[in-house]
Amino acid sequence: EPAELERRFEEVIAREERVEPRDWVPDDYRATMIRMIAQHAHSEIIGMQPEGNWITRAPSLRRKAILLAKVQDEAGHGLYLYSAAETLGADRDELTRKLIEGRQKYSSIFNYPTLSFADVGVIGWLVDGAAICNQVPLCRSSYGPYARAMIRICKEESFHQRQGYELLMTMMRGSDSQRRMVQDATDRWWWPSLMMFGPPDADSPHTERSMAWKIKRHTNDELRQRFVDMTVPQADALGVTLPDPDLRWNAEREHYDFGAIDWAEFKRVVAGNGPCNAERVAHRRAAHDDGAWVREAAAAHAARRAERDGA
Ligand code: 3HC
């Protein structure tokens, strides 16, 4: 009965074991995991758009091939994560409809424009770098299918981060105008990358319980700090300046202190009023509508097959 089921669930969590699709879980745990996995999947799919914008204008065949592979990886991560959400009883079509109707979130970071090819490098370096910071701990998340998906995804994110950093290194060894493009892209993507980690812990309604259920292994602020500490030396090695005059090493804390984040901007973007929100959702809606005939044909084919086999 419920009390025994609850006790067993809590025991699995306490023993750092994995919760699997067949296990009984509290309704709120299921709802939280569907929310988090679905929004992660949406982020991967929407995240294809900013960089996809540059596939036809990559400066060389090599850069085009790398960018194609990366955008294709993001699509795969999305499909992988929708499958993980389905193990919790979520319906993929329903999740897509919620995304298209603006009833489910995706990462704020993808609502910013990609204005030059240096953005492709900075997205690899900062956005995929932040994603790695946020997702490596999720490999130890208590929900089995999600944690296992993270292991595969983190391996590919490492390639994404490396290719971005290598692209920037190449541009920084190039002309003055290439160096200016890298600095301009860094200036535009730095603060939005810090916002990827979510609101401050004090304003995060989900963190406490997600930590108790070992869904999250660190809080938003802890991972944000880890990302800043990791990235400052990389910016120095690249020769770019991070756009934060308050950024400085704090020997006492053994972390970098950094300036205030514009949480009003974060709230605006999450609420749908960022630079590219409407365009991103409209593009996703158009792709869904354009693909309706494929879904209908596949369903008709499956029904015909079932009829024939059943007959
Ligand atoms: N963008 C949009 N919404 C955000 C957000 C962001 N950057 N950060 C937080 N939010 C939303 C939350 O979804 C929540 O709203 P909801 O209740 O309607 O879902 C609200 O703001 C409060 O935030 P919390 O911190 O309390 O919520 P969470 O505990 O869910 O933490 C999170 C937010 C850290 C993003 C967490 O959900 C998480 O770690 N998710 C899994 C990883 C993920 O989705 N990363 C997105 C990066 S994009 C990516 O990885 C693609 C790669 O190719 C770059």
Instruction: Calculate the average pLDDT of the chain.
Output: 97
Structure tokens at 197: 């980690």
Best mutation site among 39, 71, 82 for ligand 1 pocket (most ligand atoms within 8 Å of CB): 39
For the Cβ of 84 lying below 6 angstroms from any atom of ligand 1, the answer is: no
Query: What is the pLDDT at residue 149?
Result: 96
For the Cβ of 244 lying below 6 angstroms from any atom of ligand 1, the answer is: no
Q: How far does the centroid of ligand 1 lie from the alpha carbon of residue 42, in Å?
A: 11
Q: pLDDT tens, 271-280?
A: 999 999 999 9
The DSSP 8-state label assigned to residue 271 in this structure reads I
Q: pLDDT tens, 179-209?
A: 999 999 999 999 999 999 999 999 999 999 9
Question: Backbone phi, then psi, for 262, in 5-degree steps?
Answer: -80, 85
Residues 273, 130: Cα–Cα separation, whole Å: 22
Are 161 and 251 contacting, i.e. CB atoms less than 8 angstroms apart? no
Q: How far does the centroid of ligand 1 lie from the alpha carbon of residue 17, in Å?
A: 24
**Cα atoms in the Cβ-side hemisphere of radius 13 Å centred on 16:** 3
Q: pLDDT tens, 43-99?
A: 999 999 999 999 999 999 999 999 999 999 999 999 999 999 999 999 999 999 999
Q: pLDDT tens, 243-294?
A: 999 999 999 999 999 999 999 999 999 999 999 999 999 999 999 999 999 9
Query: What is the pLDDT at residue 2?
Result: 86
How many C-beta atoms surround the C-beta of residue 275 within 10 A? 14
Residues 87, 21: Cα–Cα separation, whole Å: 6
Q: Checking DSSP bridges between strand 248-250 and strand 255-257, what pairing results, if any? A: antiparallel
For the Cβ of 183 lying below 6 angstroms from any atom of ligand 1, the answer is: no
**Helices 144-172 and 176-195, packing angle to 10 deg:** 160
- Kindly state the percentage of the chain with pLDDT values over 70: 100
Is residue 171 pLDDT above 80, yes or no?
yes
Residues 109, 123: Cα–Cα separation, whole Å: 10
Q: What is the ipTM of this complex?
A: 0.98
Kindly provide the residue ranges of all beta strands, DSSP E only, lying in 252-301, ordered along the sequence.
255-257
Q: Which residues touch 302 (CB under 8 Å, ≥6 apart)? A: none
Q: How far does the centroid of ligand 1 lie from the alpha carbon of residue 154, in Å?
A: 17
How would you classify residue 99: left for phi > 0, otherwise alpha for psi between -120 and 50, otherwise beta? Answer: alpha
Are 126 and 189 contacting, i.e. CB atoms less than 8 angstroms apart? yes
What value does the mean pLDDT take over residues 145-150? 97
Residues 27, 61: Cα–Cα separation, whole Å: 50
Query: What is the pLDDT at residue 311?
Result: 59
Q: pLDDT tens, 8-39?
A: 999 999 999 999 999 999 999 999 999 999 99
Best mutation site among 45, 134, 150, 266 for ligand 1 pocket (most ligand atoms within 8 Å of CB): 134
Residue nearest to atom 31 of ligand 1 (CA): 198
Query: What is the pLDDT at residue 1?
Result: 84
